[in-house]
């Protein structure tokens, strides 16, 4: 089992845990330099996906290895703007996805995404 520590936050989580061929990535929010980065859901989605990419890169993987995502949005009206960025970053065939409308733990965060990646599967 390989664990990627999460240096950016002071909470008891790992950025990712790899077990077998699967990598489970913790939820990412648009958090940089101690604050929320981006005012719109599009800007925050870019930051979140960049963060996921960074964790994947530490393990020698890319977004093409992601097979499942779970997304939390704070407001259903943000879905279209979010989905536009998501579709640009996750190329077809896209990962399986769940989307939930919910409050998030950090005030100002509009989107959170967690992911499951596979070493043996590349969607692209």
Q: Residues 78-113: pLDDT tens digits?
A: 999 999 999 999 999 999 999 999 999 888 999 999
pLDDT for 2: 60
Q: Which of 117, 108, 111, 87 is nearest to 23 (CA)?
A: 117
For residue 64, give both structure tokens: 């093409």
> pLDDT tens, position by position, for the chain (124 residues)?
566 666 555 667 888 999 999 999 999 999 888 789 999 999 999 999 999 999 999 999 999 999 999 999 999 999 999 999 999 999 999 999 999 999 998 889 999 999 999 998 876 6
What per-residue string of b and e applies to 97-115 under the rule 16 or more CB within 10 Å gives b? eebeeeebeeeebbbbbbb
């Amino acid at each position: 089992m390989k664990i990627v520590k999460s240096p950016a936050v002071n909470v008891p989580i790992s950025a990712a845990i790899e077990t077998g061929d699967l990598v489970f990535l913790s939820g990412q929010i648009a958090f940089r330099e101690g604050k929320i980065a981006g005012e719109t859901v599009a800007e925050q989605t870019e930051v979140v996906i960049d963060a996921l990419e960074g964790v994947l890169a530490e393990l020698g993987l890319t977004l093409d290895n992601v097979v499942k995502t779970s997304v939390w949005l704070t407001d259903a009206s943000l879905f279209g703007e979010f989905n536009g960025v998501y579709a640009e970053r996750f190329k077809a065939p896209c990962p399986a996805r769940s989307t939930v409308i919910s409050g998030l733990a950090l005030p100002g965060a509009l989107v959170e995404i967690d992911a499951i990646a596979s070493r043996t599967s590349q969607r692209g």
